[in-house]
Each structure stands twice: as C-alpha cells, then as structure tokens.
Structure 1
Amino acid sequence: MSAAPDVPGRWALRFLGVGNAGAAPALGSASALIERDGVPQLMIDCGEYALDAWLARHAGPPPALFVTHLHMDHVGGLERLFTLTWFGGDARPLLYVPAALLPHMQARVADYPGILAEGGVNFWEAFRLIPVSRGFWHGGLWYDVFPVRHHRPDTAFGLRLRGSVVWTGDTRPIPEMLAVQAEAGELIAHDCGLVGNPSHTGVDDLEREYPDTLRSRMVLYHYGSPEDAAAIAARGHRVARPGEIYPLGPPQPVETQG
C-alpha cells in the first residue's frame, strides 16, 4: 500500500556548505537542508561551519539531522549543538544515525567522562537519537539510507527522498547504487573534487563511471577551492555554491508491506 502521504508544497535543497575539510573555512562544511516552502525538514550533517550557516538563518537548533559519516567536517558541530540545545531550553533535535556508525559515534563524540564540568548529564540527553538501517520515517515520508564507498565498508552512507533528491555524502563513484537509488528522476548531490583519490570522486572519475543521463541530474559539492569549482564547471558540470537553492520534485510515495 502507499504509506507516505501526498505532501504538497515547493521542495528544495539548500546547500549550507560545499567544501572539503581543507576548504571548509572558506566554502563551509559540506551540508544541506531539505526544505518545503522554505521551512527546513531535515539537515544533512553538522560540521562546525555547517552549524554556523544554520545559525545565520535560524535562532534555535535544527529540528532534525541525518549523519552520513563521522569525519569531523561532518560531525564537528555536534558538541556545540549539544550545548546550544541543553542550555537553550529548546526541543531536542531528532538525530538519525546509521546503526553501523553508533559504536564509532559513541567513541568519537559522546564518550568523554563528563560532557559538562558540573556533571549530571549524558551527551545523548540533548538529542532524540534514532538508529536507522535501510531507512527511516520523518515527517510522514520515507527516506532511504544506503552505503557508499568512503574508506572502510559500512562507515559512510547516502540518503534518498524518492522523487526529490539523492545525497551521496563523501564517496567514490557508486554507479551500481545510483542505478537503484536514483531511478525516479531525483536531483543527485554528488561528492566531486577536481582530482579524485581513494576516498573521494574526482571529475575524471565522474565522467568515466556515470552515463550522461545520471550526470545531467547531478550537482557537485565537496571540492577544494573556488578555482577547482570553476575548473569543474568549465567541463560542463553543475557545481553547487554555498547558500544556493535547487528546486526538487515532490516526494513520491513508497510501497511498503502492511
């Protein structure tokens, strides 16, 4: 049966930041918001500079976040977000985290013996933590979660809102995955630098691994400098800039067993 409701409105992807770890001070930490009628529905990743970009537009913390992986340019803002939430008296943000990441996330951001000098609080008390595997429901819509190719297996994940957007997160090319996860006409936000490496896609990789039909729907982020962005764009690719907004198709219902 059709499990997701028909959600009206104008949907968009707003890039909070587009840079890799070295370029984040200038280009922002790679992160985005999925919005409906200008209202944030879900924030993707929370690097230090991503939280700055969020707070430049909003007074309180984001209502919901999805974490793709645990490099600090993607989760470095979480401790600050803990402080903002705990002392701000705001509702606890929903935090969707792939279950495979939880042991590493606990060790990396939550296991310090005493998150506050005064004690009496655990890191996760500031959030509503929801472990996810193949996907999750949020706002009445189903979001698919899928593994990508970034360092060790099962340490980085992409996100899909069917019919609207696919966010690859940091990854090498994943044509076999996008053949399934981007088959409904979605905008594809894809990791791409000027030169690839064993953990990230380069523009040569992108052109070699993907057909024109997929590349035509891509917008590229996680590059190293404005000059790199210009060089990638000069090869005919669409490149995201900080603060840019891309319109999305309306989310499509998913079929579930029930």
Structure 2
Amino acid sequence: MSWALRLHGVGNASAVALGSAMATIERDGRPWLTIDCGAEGLTDYQACYGESPRALFITHAHLDHVGGFERLFVDTYFDTTRRGEVIVYAPAPLVPLLHQRIGAYPNVLAEGGANFWDAFRLVPVGDGFWHDGIRLDTFAARHHWPDTAFGLRLRGSMVWTGDTRPIPEMLACHADAGELVAHDCGLHGNPSHSGIDDLEREYPPALLERCLLYHYASAADGAALAARGYRVGRAGDVIPLTEPTAHRAEPWPG
C-alpha cells in the first residue's frame, strides 16, 4: 500500500496564481482525505481526479480555505449518489464559524426545500477522529484567534499545520514520529502566519529538515525559501509518504 500527499495549491490568500492552500492524502494513487476546500484548490482537485472530494478535513474558516464549498454543494446536492455522503470533518469549535461562513445563507436554493448541510455528512471532531478505519489526530494552531484553526496528523506519515504561527509545543507532541511536516511559512511572518525567521528561531534543525513549506506569497518568495536550503512545496507536487503507524480499527469478532 502506498501513501502520498498531493498539493493542490500552496499560496497565501493573495497569491491566486499559486492556488489556495489545499492538499489531498492519497492511498494507492486515489484520494483518501482532502484538507480544506479553497476555490482554486477545488478546481485543481477536479482536474486531477475527475470528480469532487468525498471526504474533507477543514482546518479553519477563512475563505481561501473554504471558498469552494458553494460549488461543492451544487456538485453534491444534485447528485443523488453523493448527496449526504460527502464527509466533512470539522473540529467542534470550528463548526459555528464554518456554518456562519458557508452554510447560513437563507434559501441555499432559490426554489427552497434544501438546507446547506443536506449535501454533506458533517462530523464534528475533538482531538482525533476515525476515517476509513484509521485514526487521525487534530491539534490547535495559532492563527488569528484561539480555537479557530487546527492542524492534522496522520501518525508516522504526515502533519499538516494549517495556517499558523510557530507551534513548537504542539509539534513536539504531534510530530514526534518522523512525520513529514507541511508547515505554513512565508518569507516574512506576520501576527497570523509564520515567516522563515520565526521557524528558524523556534524549531530545532532536525524538525526544520522534515518541514515542507507552503502558504507563501509568490513564486519569488518560494524560490527565496528554497535558496535558503528548505524544501518548498509547489502546486501539483505529489510527495511520497511513509506508511502510517496510526491506530487502525480492529474488526469486530464474530
């Protein structure tokens, strides 16, 4: 069994040419779990796989990460084989914000008779959740405001920080098994995002060697990060992952 991480976009909110930051964990070359649903990222996903996502984890509710949901609703609601079957895992504190951002508009269909969440199976999650028989972990990130942004870990394989300032204490706990760490990083930081100087100050060299940097401002900034010796993600990259060591569900006896 092979695992990989496909990057649909790597840019920050203003770097449209780089695509909205979004990725899919693949298993045996097929989409397994998608992280976020930005507009440009959704377009790339559909071009890659010929369909829309069937299972997503949402890191936070900024529009560059959830702006594709209106299209995803239409794609899903009007397909009776998909309606109510597309899983959306959302950290529980994020659910009200996510609903306000994408689900609260009255009469999602002009004809009436439909609720936004009819198209999906919304699954609020805590510090972890099961997907397809495998346990994933979630953790709080530092982005704008407490309890509004979260990262994702597939133990032994990969960590996706989501938008964040440096989180050394979280990664000491949630990236301690040699995982690839896809980390928010621009050439320059700000109060909501990490800059490379921030990561160099906060993280040990051994962790920085495992980092894959994304969510930067331009192709030139990406090149500058690479010139400093760091691994920089590009839209369209497919990065091989190690086999997860995450807990797996045991079949019920009988």
Point out which structure has higher relative CO (alpha carbons under 8 A, 6+ apart).
1
Q: Which residue of 1 aligns with 2:118?
A: 125
Q: Which residue of 1 aligns with 2:168?
A: 175
Alignment pair present for 1:70 and 2:61: yes
Alignment pair present for 1:22 and 2:10: no
Counterpart amino acid of 1:172? R
Alignment pair present for 1:45 and 2:36: yes
Q: How much identity, in percent, do the aligned residues show?
A: 61
* Superposition CA RMSD, Å: 1.2
Q: 1:205-224: CA deviations, max 9, x gaps?
A: 01111001100101000000
Counterpart amino acid of 1:14? R
State how far apart, in whole Å, the 2-side matches of 1:253 and 1:207 are. 29
Q: 1:10-65: CA deviations, max 9, x gaps?
A: 11111010000100x20110000101111110000001011100111223221100
Alignment pair present for 1:134 and 2:127: yes
In the TM superposition, residue 255 of structure 1 has moved relative to its aligned partner by 9.1
State how far apart, in whole Å, the 2-side matches of 1:125 and 1:61 are. 16
State how far apart, in whole Å, the 2-side matches of 1:60 and 1:244 are. 19
In the TM superposition, residue 104 of structure 1 has moved relative to its aligned partner by 1.2
State how far apart, in whole Å, the 1-side matches of 2:43 and 2:97 are. 25
Gaps of 5+ in 1: 1-8
Q: Determine if contact 2:136/2:246 at 8 Å carries over to the other structure.
A: no
State how far apart, in whole Å, the 2-side matches of 1:57 and 1:134 are. 31
Q: 1:115-169: CA deviations, max 9, x gaps?
A: 0100100000000110001111001100101001001100000000000000000
Alignment pair present for 1:200 and 2:200: no
Matched residue SS, 2:12: coil
State how far apart, in whole Å, the 1-side matches of 2:119 and 2:50 are. 17
- Give the number of equivalent residue pairs: 247
Q: Which residue of 1 aligns with 2:3?
A: 11
Gaps of 5+ in 2: 250-254
State how far apart, in whole Å, the 2-side matches of 1:110 and 1:246 are. 33
Counterpart amino acid of 1:46? C
Which residue, 52, 57, 70 being the options, matches 2:48?
A: 57
State how far apart, in whole Å, the 2-side matches of 1:157 and 1:104 are. 13
Q: Determine if contact 2:133/2:248 at 8 Å carries over to the other structure.
A: no
Counterpart amino acid of 2:3? W
